[in-house]
Amino acid sequence: MAPSKQELSLLLNPLVPEAVQHNNKTLTNLHSVTSFLLGLVAGILALQSAYGFAFYLSGTVLVSGVFHLLLISRSGGGAGVFFPGANGEIADIDERGFVHNSSRAVQRKGAWRDVWFGGGVMGEALSGFVLGWAGTAGVLH
């Protein structure tokens, strides 16, 4: 059986597990700190119920945007240079292993999803947000 596109991508251009781990850890650290901060601001602004969660979502989008702009775009290449995306599949690769892409750096399929939704945004970071939110709202108002 011919290898799938994802297997082919990993054969032609393998990933470094250590670097993947390091990048994910950096992103998770950033998100857990900033989500607590977002919680503090939401508490100061006395947001309630759905407004607070909407604030959290827009705040994480802001942080991910700044992260993307300052750390990823500035170092050349897209998110695929630093994040594996969908199991490391290369974007625009065909069945024979040729990449139909104009950019020089290797792009991984769905890597932007790691930057914008990864890093525990819907997990640990959210609990940090709720902690900061409830804490400051309780103390200040």
Q: Does 14 bind other proteins (CB under 8 A)?
A: yes
Query: Residue from 3, 15, 51, 94 that binds other proteins (CB under 8 A)?
Result: 15
Query: Residue from 6, 45, 53, 103 that binds other proteins (CB under 8 A)?
Result: 45
> Which residue type does 31 have?
H
79 with 115: CB under 8 angstroms? yes
Stretch that binds other proteins, among 63-71, 91-99, 118-126, 127-135 (CB under 8 A): 63-71
Q: Does 109 bind other proteins (CB under 8 A)?
A: no
Give φ, ψ of 55 to 5 degrees. -60, -40
**Beta partners for 108?**
90
Q: Give the residue from 62, 63, 64, 60 showing the smallest Cα distance to 115.
A: 64
Tell me how far, at minimum, the Cβ of 124 lies from other proteins, in Å. Answer: 16
